[in-house]
Amino acid sequence: MAAALRATAVVEIGTGAGVSGLWLLRGMAPEGVLTSIDVEAEHQRAAKQAFAEAGIRTTRARTITGRAHEVLPRLTDGAYDMVVADADVLDLPAHIDQALRLLRPGGVLAVPRALGHDRVPDPARRDEVTTTLREVARSLRTDERLVPALLPSGDGLLLAAKR
């Protein structure tokens, strides 16, 4: 997706060990910068090490340790080609509100694991995480500012392009 967008500015909410960041950087334009946010400093260190081992220039990845709901409001409106919201599901609604502010027209929001380990399609599942994922999908589907698509492979990838 980053390659299709010719992305030069991507926000990743949830760094993990840097695996998704490596794939994003690989798809981004050579001058592109990934901004990766995670509450765990250990995750940031692991990602930086993975980026260095992959030969990624330090100027291409900026890692910010902190809570996304505190960091995202400090980022520039309409300045990003893509936002990947891959953190705590219960925080997704707030992250999506910020992501839509950050995306430029034509930019894409990506929500990995949108099928919640196959719980979302099961109407009998009513736990908080599953309910939140359903509400997120419903809100993106009905938001006139977006063109959403759900890719059902793996654990699901919910994409929404900003009009």
Query: Which tens digit of pLDDT belongs to each residue from 126-141?
Result: 999 999 999 999 999 9
Q: Count CB-CB contacts under 10 A for residue 23.
A: 14
Looking at the chain, the whole-number percentage of residues with pLDDT higher than 90 is 100
Residue count of the chain, please give it.
163
Mean pLDDT of 102-126: 96
Q: What average pLDDT is seen over the chain?
A: 97
All domains in the chain, ordered by first residue = 2-162 (3.40.50.150)
Looking at the chain, the whole-number percentage of residues with pLDDT higher than 70 is 100
C-alpha span between 27 and 93 (Å, rounded): 27
Return the pLDDT at 128: 97
